Amino acid sequence: MKRVCLFVTVGCALALAQQTGRIAPKPLFRDPVYDGAADPVLAWDRAGRKWIMFYTNRRANMTGADGVSWVHGTRIGMAESTDGGATWTYAGTVQIPFGTDEFTHWAPEVIDHDGTYHMYLSIVPGIFRDWNASRSIIHLTSKDLHKWEYRSTLDLGSDRVIDASVAQLPDGAFRMWYKNERARDGSIYYADSTDLDHWTSKGTAIRGARGEGPKIFHWKDRYWMLVDVWDGIAVYQSADCLNWKRQPANLLKDPGAIATDQAKGGHVDVVVSGGRAYLFYFVHQPAELQRHSAIQVVELEYAAGDLHCDRNRPTHIELTQ
């Protein structure tokens, strides 16, 4: 019996594309120290000719943790891939020249512009047993993705901001989206910059929308914003990065069938490569290891104006540069 492709042209082309590249394992990556990898973001190492994954690390295997202190007090983890994103090797932690050893580092964003890497990193000034501490976003730069220089702490009009995502607009300017935890009219805010150093907050990006970890990317002739809404990943699309329309269905809302992928997906990154788009996400583990989390990847599909993905189907990954 022949397989019938839905959306004949798009669906068949996608099916063929998905057969190229190596099959990514499940899980894609687990941190060997704390087993609490989350919030992945990928960057191409120009000098090393390899992909680097930066990720939040939580002390998932910590015993006797007081409150939520186990999600505090860690550096950003690093893993590297030399085979197009299929296999990843732990590469230590990122040494950030800011604060004290107890400062908490969350949710990095890394972009490459004009030969310089820029990192926008969420900072919590210590280890806390609850969620009530202040938070800020700092800006760092690097020439090699390993040695970083502190540039500034962003003034975004709030003492509780996290989860930066940056995109360059068609006019050459830059826009950052982030979570403002003090907001009353929707938690995803945005700010604009012409130089990646000086940012002006513009207020709410999507009124009434709540969530965290926004990720913005351009694919299929439009901009997409993916937001972790604690019930899978909400999907918005826009032609101008100002007016956003939400699609009805969340991605990664339904648990997967594979043992390490049986929870809702959270805080994503997307890499567009060779015309294909790959969604990297983290997922908590079964009840007895519920603090533990792993990184997974799935290829995005575009059909009938919306994004879709099948986390149970093998993902053939082929990141190129």
| Cα–Cα distance for residue pair 57/104, rounded to 1 Å | 10
What pLDDT, on a 0 to 100 scale, did the predictor assign at position 26?
Answer: 97
CB 216 within 8 A of CB 197: no
pLDDT, average across residues 94-115: 97
Query: Taking the CA of residue 259 as centre, how many other CA atoms within 13 Å lie in the half-sphere pointing to its CB?
Result: 3
Q: Quick one: tokens of 210?
A: 């709540």
In the predicted structure, residue 12 carries a pLDDT above the cut 60: no
Q: Mind listing the pLDDT tens digit for each residue in 43-100?
A: 999 999 999 999 999 999 999 999 999 999 999 999 999 999 999 999 999 999 999 9
Residue 274: helix, strand or coil by DSSP?
coil
The secondary structure of the chain in percent helix, strand, coil, rounded to multiples of 5, reads 5, 45, 50
Residue with the larger pLDDT of the pair 102 and 287 = 102
CA torsion through residues 209, 212, 216, 222, sign: negative
Reading the block at residue 294, the tokens are 């792993």
Report the pLDDT value the prediction gives residue 289, as an integer from 0 to 100: 83
Given a cut of 90, whether residue 290 has pLDDT beyond it is: no
Fill in the DSSP letter of residue 2.
P
b/e sequence 91-114, b meaning 16+ C-beta within 10 Å: bebbebeeeeeebbbbbbbbbeee
Residue 17 pLDDT: 53
Residue 312, C-beta contacts closer than 8 angstroms, at least 6 positions apart = 256, 257, 258
15 confidence band (pLDDT: 50, 70, 90): low
Contacts of 155 (CB under 8 A, 6+ apart): 199, 201
Stated length of the chain: 321
Domains of the chain: 8-317 (2.115.10.20)
Confidence of residue 287 (pLDDT cuts 50, 70, 90): confident
Over residues 225-232, the mean pLDDT reads 98
Residue with tokens 């310089």: 116
Q: Which long-range contacts (CB under 8 A, 24 or more apart) does 283-287 make?
A: 283/27, 283/252, 283/256, 285/260, 286/259, 286/262
User: Nearest 5°: phi and psi at 261?
Assistant: -135, 35
**pLDDT tens-digit readout, 114-128:** 999 999 999 999 999
